[in-house]
Chain A
Amino acid sequence: MAGDIVQITALSLLVSGTSTLVATLIAVPVGTLLGLREVGSGRLLRNILFTLYGLPPVLAGLLVFLVLSKAGPLGPLRLLYTPLGMVIAQVVIVTPIILGITMSVVSTVERRVKDTAFVLGADRYQLSVTVLREAAAGVLTAIMVGFGRAISEVGAVFIVGGHIEGQTQVLTTTIITDIGQAEYSHAVALGVILLVIAALIYSLLYRLQERTLA
């Protein structure tokens, strides 16, 4: 019992951590570039992003399932019912969230930050890095929200991962199946672990956020 809890917890952290990391690597640079564009430009792209913001995880799971299934375009890669497939599903869900918040945070950074860096001789890349540094606390919030969505997500990982014992079981999907099998104490134990993980990671990010604001 204890062994399977450790394995399930480790896989949850691995899948959610990896998907948040990949989403961050995609979303932060793109969100910064979009946030630096003048108001009005790229409005269609912004609208699409904000729509994806509210993408239901079950729908995201279904789409990734279709893409990864045997008949789908990525079927030959055999990623369905694997942790990597679950990571892909979560990246699809988390990327728009981190991207949207980063874009909002960067676009609200004071005009004076951009002007000051420009006047001091910054090129386009250096200017983006400077704005991102000033917006660091907000970007950390975006990553926190993204991780929160990933670790608590159940629908997509259930569809894409298949909840296979010893292979693709994560905390949230196991809680759901435990409830179905009336294994309430096991479900509660996993719920507490989920809560502790969230608290530990949020307190770590909160400290980082405080340091960037200093």
Chain B
Amino acid sequence: MTMSLAASGLVKSFGARTVLEGIDLRVEPGEIFAIVGPSGAGKTTLLRCVDFLLRPEAGTILYDDAVAPSDLAARIALRRRVGMVAQNPFLFRGTAAYNVSFGLCIRDVEGEELTRRTADALQGVGMAHLAGARASVLSAGEAQRVAFARAAVVRPDLLLLDEFTVNLDPSNVNILEAAVREYNRSTGATVVLVTHNMFQAKRLAGRVALLLEGRIVEVGPVEEFFENPRDPRTRAFVRGEFAY
């Protein structure tokens, strides 16, 4: 299963500070789409709006070309089609396996299927040997791998990744990037990746957008975006001329 995502005229403020100033964006079903930009550009705020954690003041977000339903049960069903991995994920008290099984349990998956899917998800991020380890003793890299497995195990149609490998060592970055590719390949799910790491965007994404001061500056295929950007601000960003 997969999902298209579109935003138009999206505005979000915190007090006097407007973080998103009219975002227009379309992500096609099944693609890996990267949103790059310096820190403070509004990338995380955009993802939090998409994942229902924040309510925008203006504009619309379309999931499969439809706005989110107001009916509570239908809204929960839609929320369950969207997954997210945060920059510094929170792991619940308990084991790695408990954390990974959380989303399955609240979807009433139980018994042998629960055990198998939890084990497979941990295996997918190289964490099978630490299934019984308490979350509190995991390293940052291990915790992030558990968080990814926890988000992916419920097979969301749209997976949002918010700076999901920031501050991790190359080995953990490789494992997680491979897991994203495999998830996208095997499920056909749409992946929206937010990062200020241009190399990661190049490695993973098919298309890239630059978000700057709350606005989308340019969107294009990954080669075109990095090799031949149209907007002077994109050129400056690609050359590393933005301080962040």
- Chain A residues with CB under 8 Å of chain B are 110, 112-113, 115-123, 126, 130, 133-134, 212-214
Contacts and interface: CB of A to CB of B under 8 A. Distances in A.
Contact of B89 (A116, A121, A122): A116
B76 interface: yes
Interface string B138-158: 000000000000110010000
B53 A120 contact: no
Interface residues of B, number: 21
Given A115-B53, A214-B134, A120 B93 contact: no
Contacts of B134: 214
Contact of A133 (B51, B93, B151): B93
A133 B92 contact: yes
B92 A130 contact: yes
Interface string B9-22: 00000000000000
A208 to B, nearest CB: 14
B124 interface: no
B151 A118 contact: no
Contacts of B151: 119-120
User: Can you list the 10 inter-chain pairs with the closest CB atoms, starting with the nearest?
Assistant: A112-B90, A121-B80, A120-B103, A116-B90, A126-B106, A119-B84, A122-B106, A123-B76, A121-B79, A120-B102
> Which of B51, B76, B86, B93 has the most CB atoms of chain A within a 10 A radius of its CB?
B93
B92 A116 contact: yes
B103 A113 contact: no
> Which of B106, B107, B134, B154 has the most CB atoms of chain A within a 10 A radius of its CB?
B106
Interface of B: 51-53, 76, 79-80, 83-84, 86, 89-90, 92-93, 102-103, 106-107, 134, 150-151, 154
Contacts of A121: 76, 79-80, 103, 106-107, 154
Contacts of A134: 92-93
A119 B76 contact: no
A118 B107 CA distance: 13
A46 B86 CA distance: 34
20 contacts: A112-B90, A113-B92, A115-B53, A115-B90, A116-B86, A116-B89, A117-B102, A119-B53, A120-B106, A120-B150, A121-B76, A121-B79, A121-B80, A121-B103, A121-B154, A122-B106, A123-B76, A133-B93, A134-B92, A214-B134
Contact of B52 (A112, A118, A214): A118
A115 B84 CA distance: 11
> Which of A113, A120, A123, A214 has the most CB atoms of chain B within a 10 A radius of its CB?
A120
Nearest to A123: B76
A117 B80 CA distance: 11
Nearest to A130: B92
Nearest to A111: B90
A118 B76 CA distance: 9
Nearest to B150: A120
> Which of B90, B102, B134 has the most CB atoms of chain A within a 10 A radius of its CB?
B90
B90 A212 contact: no
A213 B151 CA distance: 24
Nearest to B53: A115
Contacts of A120: 83, 102-103, 106, 150-151, 154
A113 B76 CA distance: 18
A189 B78 CA distance: 64
B121 to A, nearest CB: 13
B103 A212 contact: no
Contacts of A117: 102
B90 A113 contact: yes
A122 B107 CA distance: 9
Contacts of B89: 116
A110 B90 contact: yes
